[in-house]
Structure 1
């Protein structure tokens, strides 16, 4: 039972976002250097997945310990797994998985630092700080809570991957990382809507609690618009191939999510389809971006 609970606490279906974002860093590395070491790609993906598992299990443990899990109405896209509510005896095991996962991330980062020096250190330190502080501290500061997920899966993950594959940072990678930055911010933003009441009871202060659903939906639309403008600007002036205009297609799923949030933001029971479109946008857009970067270069 404990093993099953631990696996559920990892939130395995949500881990698909990690390879999608790592793939963007691989693509920018291929576009700028022409080749990558695939063993390094595997190591980078391992470190990124370990970080994602670490933040998921740490969040599960802390939400259980705070009592939030007992208050949350779960959906397929939000509210955590609820695994520890049904098996509280596994809490220590879940906490240890979080610690060990972060240790794997640190080991992978240390390996690449030994090869390339301390230039990777700011990415690693900021990434670990985001993981450790997200549930207990960042969730009480609405604007930091908004941008923290996108920072982790956008600039930190994409630029970090590019760096460990090439030994240097790249303007192309930095620019490309801003697209998943806005989309992952939006992913977590809409997922907070069903949890507003429960989150408020334990002292969280994210954007939908402080400013409401209507304002948060406007922020969602602005961020989606920025992602689309980045694609157009990237093709016009920042080195994205013309083929990358295809990225606008999966962004259409984000538009459907935005329209659904405008219509159903106050109706949680009808909101799951909207959250589903949001997931499609956040996961498929980086994949299409990566494929077009490689195919068009």
Structure 2
């Protein structure tokens, strides 16, 4: 029983779910700064996003197993899948059904928020559903995987969490959501470096394959720096509160990831520390932004 439960946790990639928690926290904090805060809605949004995040993780595991990708990738702590299905620990059909169940439960919560917000969330929910249902089967083959990740598990959840609270859109909230989009785009982008050959073999088309690792390392570096510049200028121009500059505390870790990537872009084992540093940058930067907004709301 314990072994089976561990396998289900692995296939749902629960170690990646803190991202969803931080996204909802950030979106809610932005709304709090603007004078809106409804804790029950925030909790419900969190449950919904976690379920949808689990569904895309499970679908990814299932379709990567079916395509044979899981048998070709060299697993790292941050990429290459959980290895649950290739190891025969779970029935693939049951895993697929579990993914559908998570999606339907998450979508049900989305439907509740559609009613609450008078359909304001339609664009976000429709795009989110497309990203979840077609990510592994289509989008990763059309050079849209990184964009889908950045939007679907970055910008849109933050903006959506804001709309759930404020029942309206805000240009400032959209601008404040952009760093999340860039960071999560970069999260997937760097994680694709070790899998380039395997991804190419099964027909995937992503930016790392298109550019090659040598050029892709500069894109990763540019986007990391752009994230910090975005926070600086948005704060200085009054679009984001000055306490948002707390997000800059991850700059040393960001430059560590850049340095390792530039020097070891083609060496999988030596690149792994960069993958780890990048995860810290993605999670902690957004957490600090949320804390910054919360401080701004209380001042």
TM-score calculated relative to the size of structure 1: 0.96
**How do 1:138-153 and structure 2 match up within 5 A?**
138-142=139-143, 144-153=144-153
> Which segment drifts farther, 46-55 or 219-228?
219-228
**How do 1:31-50 and structure 2 match up within 5 A?**
31-33=33-35, 35-50=36-51
1:150-201 superposed Cα distances (whole Å, 9 cap, x missing partner): 1112221011111111211122221111011111111111101111111111
Shift of 1:277: 0.4
Superposed CA RMSD in Å reads 1.4
Match of residue 162 from structure 1: 162
**How do 1:108-147 and structure 2 match up within 5 A?**
108-142=109-143, 144-147=144-147
Corresponding residue to 1:14 among 7, 13, 16? 16
> Which segment drifts farther, 125-134 or 234-243?
234-243
Alpha-carbon separation, structure 2, partners of 1:10 and 1:73: 19
Is the contact between residue 2 and residue 87 of structure 1 (CA under 8 Å) also seen in structure 2?
Answer: no
Q: Does 1:280 align with 2:277?
A: no
Shift of 1:3: 4.2
Is the contact between residue 7 and residue 90 of structure 2 (CA under 8 Å) also seen in structure 1?
Answer: no
Count of residues in correspondence between the two structures: 295
Secondary structure in 2 aligned to 1:146? helix
Is the contact between residue 30 and residue 294 of structure 1 (CA under 8 Å) also seen in structure 2?
Answer: yes
Match of residue 74 from structure 1: 75
> Which segment drifts farther, 121-130 or 152-161?
152-161
**How do 1:254-273 and structure 2 match up within 5 A?**
254-273=254-273
Match of residue 64 from structure 1: 65
Shift of 1:92: 1.2
Match of residue 228 from structure 2: 228
Alpha-carbon separation, structure 2, partners of 1:217 and 1:168: 38
Gaps of 5+ in 2: none
Is the contact between residue 247 and residue 288 of structure 2 (CA under 8 Å) also seen in structure 1?
Answer: yes
TM-score calculated relative to the size of structure 2: 0.95
Is the contact between residue 27 and residue 291 of structure 1 (CA under 8 Å) also seen in structure 2?
Answer: yes
Alpha-carbon separation, structure 2, partners of 1:89 and 1:187: 27
1:79-117 superposed Cα distances (whole Å, 9 cap, x missing partner): 010100111651111101110111011111111111221
Q: Does 1:28 align with 2:2?
A: no
Return the structure number with greater helix share: 1
Shift of 1:7: 2.1
1:109-128 superposed Cα distances (whole Å, 9 cap, x missing partner): 11111122111111001001
Match of residue 183 from structure 2: 183
Alpha-carbon separation, structure 1, partners of 2:21 and 2:252: 21
